Copies of this chain bind each other. A is one copy, B any other.
Amino acid sequence: MFRCNWAGTEYALRVVTTKNAKVAVVGASGYAGEEVVRLLLAHPHVDLVAVTSRQFAGKTLAQVFPRLSHHEKAKGLKFFDADPKQLAREAEVIFLALPHGLAAEFAKPLLQAGARVLDLSADFRVKDAAVYKEFYGHDHPAPDLLGQAVYGLPEIYRDQIREAKLVACPGCYPTSILIPLRPLIRRKAIDRKRILITSLSGVTGAGRKIEADYLFAECNESVRPYGVPKHRHLSEIEQELSNLAGEKITIQFTPHLVPVNRGIVTTIYTDLAGDVVEVDPALLFSGAYGQEPFVRLFGEERLPDSKNVVGTNFIDIAWKIDNRTRRLVVMSAIDNIVKGASGQAVQCFNLMRGFPETAGLI
């Protein structure tokens, strides 16, 4: 910032940015898509040039998302039924907020046309097409692209994301699990065979699915486990943990649905490694994340609470050593739609384009 004094008043001159990125969002009708749009409309270095949705084609952003209706751009920009070729002509970077299976089909022509793609679906997260089929129940629609996809978790893959053409944005549960576990796995502080994880998620985690299970009166005053014992996100969690460990890791994972709109709280049980005499998690975590813009370390002072992260891109992490059991219990909280999806996608986008990593996010 450059400050000067002119006619008795102080002015500050700031180099605001290099030129804006032209961006499109495909499938912007779900919760993650809406949130990407909201973040991009407020992003200082973005020109949102197109949004697509079969369902809402012909309507403006303002009509479909009344909470955005004050934006000039939202009043003018109309959804259209996505045509990859047209999109790639108009936009340099494209966010895909489509169901898995469909996303990969869209990514292909976009990448061929030279666009860079951030995919919020599960299509490019798992590197092994056989594992994809095991967990998602159908053949991978574009296995040839798996090699070039970068897993979009900046806390692990920051450098690769900068150069990526195709970013596979992580799932919400994996984000809440991998960030806390990474330093513990890397430093061999815990028994890799005995990791058990419980997560609690708000209802938007299921997307804007119009199913009886997600009606208000079915979720309100209801708490329930689901996806036991083999939730789909296990595929990417175990892949990434195994990468970190250099050996195959299998975990236990139980998600629960709780009646909040947004937020994931994850509780991770780990056995301290047998040969570890003394562990200082504070040192481990601050060493790993002291400089991370979106990781807040609560240590042993305060437990996480989803309400502290809702609407933000932060992950809050706390831990307790249980001397009775020699276990280290690590807890995290994120907003499943922001750090667990759209915010993290924008964080990756900032890296890809050389913008400040926090642009549009703080």
**A interface residues (Cβ-Cβ under 8 A, vs B):** 1, 9-19, 31, 66-67, 69-70, 194, 196, 198, 200, 202-204, 208-212, 214-226, 228-230, 250-252, 254, 256, 258-263, 265, 267, 269, 296, 298, 302-312, 314, 316, 320-322, 324-325, 327, 329, 331, 333, 362
Q: Which residues of B have CB within 8 Å of A218?
A: 216, 307
The 7 closest A-B CB pairs, nearest first, are A229-B322, A216-B219, A198-B198, A224-B305, A222-B307, A67-B308, A203-B216
Instruction: Knowing A200-B258, A304-B224, say if A15 contacts B13 (CB, 8 Å).
Output: yes
Rounded to whole angstroms, the CA-CA distance of A87 and B70 in the bound complex is 37
Closest to A264 in B: B223
The oligomer's copy count stands at 4
Rounded to whole angstroms, the CA-CA distance of A219 and B216 in the bound complex is 6
Closest to A226 in B: B303
Instruction: Knowing A324-B230, A331-B228, say if A67 contacts B220 (CB, 8 Å).
Output: no
Q: Which residues of B have CB within 8 Å of A12?
A: 15-17
Q: Which residues of B have CB within 8 Å of A309?
A: 67
Rounded to whole angstroms, the CA-CA distance of A322 and B250 in the bound complex is 11
Rounded to whole angstroms, the CA-CA distance of A265 and B257 in the bound complex is 11
Closest to A302 in B: B66
Q: Which residues of B have CB within 8 Å of A198?
A: 198, 254, 267
A15, A69, A194, A258 pick with most chain B CB within 10 angstroms:
A258
Partner of A307, one of B67, B200, B256: B67
Q: Which residues of B have CB within 8 Å of A302?
A: 66
Rounded to whole angstroms, the CA-CA distance of A216 and B320 in the bound complex is 27
Given contacts A13-B14, A230-B324, 9 further A-B contacts (CB under 8 A): A11-B17, A69-B296, A208-B212, A214-B217, A221-B260, A222-B307, A223-B306, A224-B305, A251-B325
